[in-house]
Structure 1
Amino acid sequence: MSVMHITKENFTQEVLHASTPVLLDFWAPWCGPCRMLAPLIDQLAEELEDSAKVAKIDVDAQPELASLFGVVSIPTLIVMQDGKVVDQSVGLKAKHQIKQMLPL
């Protein structure tokens, strides 16, 4: 499964009503660390396709969602389960550190 792109239009359905944990990557195209993180996010989307949803939120295109989660620095990773935030981190992380954030 490829990485989903979340907008305010599909957020409720894809994130709040998800039956599996959701990893949200808050990013922007101009952000260097975000671009460095992107290949890891893509790999995780492939590896976790049966057990978790992996999604990206462009903070420039979706400022309401960034504001909703209080995102002030990017990249920010937020893990949601059952409509609630269960973990979050700011900055670059190794793939194994990101996987450890997920309640799998």
Structure 2
Amino acid sequence: MIELTLDNFDEEVINNSKPVLVDWWGESCENCIALMPAVEELAEQYDDNIHFTKFNTSQKKVRRFCIKHKILGLPVISIFKNGEKVDEITQDDCTKENIESMIKRNI
């Protein structure tokens, strides 16, 4: 999985020709950390069809960026296609099964 920053977000997500999954997580989010192994398993399984990335919302100077992308609570898993967010699962709905269903809808 590619670790996203403000510097590489456009290149990895917005300008990517493949669908892109973004795992928005934070260092103090226990649910995010607990979910990460499941997302990494899905990345191994679906890597040929979708580009897997993760964005640490605990990075410095990313608050406005996260608000711009409507990331208001964690965890959040988003799918982008052609530079646009097309699907998203938030907080309690972030389960491996729901993420896999979302991936299947978008590949």
TM-score, normalization: structure 2?
0.87
Matched residue SS, 2:5: coil
**What is the CA distance between 1:25 and its match in structure 2?**
0.9
Structure 2: segments with no counterpart, 5+ residues: none
Q: Is 1:5 aligned to 2:6, yes or no?
A: no
Q: 2:22 & 2:50 partners in 1: Cα distance?
A: 11
Matching of residues 77-96 of structure 1 within 5 Å = 77-92=77-92, 93-96=94-97
Aligned to 1:38: 36
Question: Cα distance, 1:35 vs. partner?
Answer: 0.9
| TM-fit CA distance, 1:66 | 1.2
Percent identical among aligned pairs is 26
Contact 1:24 1:78 in 2 (8 A): yes
Q: Structure 1 residue 29: deviation in Å?
A: 1.2
CA contact (8 A) 1:75 1:91 kept: yes
AA at the equivalent of 2:82? D
Residue 81 of structure 1 aligns with an amino acid whose one-letter code is K
| One-letter amino acid of the counterpart of residue 96, structure 2 | K
> How many positions carry a matched residue from both structures?
102
Which amino acid in structure 2 is aligned with residue 73 of structure 1? G
Match of 2:72 in 1: 72
SS at match of 1:71: coil
* Deviation, structure 1 residue 91: 1.3
Q: Residue 27 of structure 1 contacts residue 75 of structure 1 at CA under 8 Å; is this kept in 2?
A: yes
Instruction: List structure 1 runs of 4+ shifted beyond 2 angstroms.
Output: 62-65
Instruction: Map Cα deviations across residues 61-89 of structure 1 (whole Å, 9 max, x no partner).
Output: 13343122111100011110111111112
Distance 1:46 1:63 in 2: 30
Cα distance in 1, alignment partners of residues 46 and 35 from structure 2 = 16
Give the structure 2 partner of residue 97 of structure 1.
Answer: 98
Shift of 1:94: 2.5
Match of 2:20 in 1: 22
Q: Which amino acid in 1 is paired with 2:16?
A: A
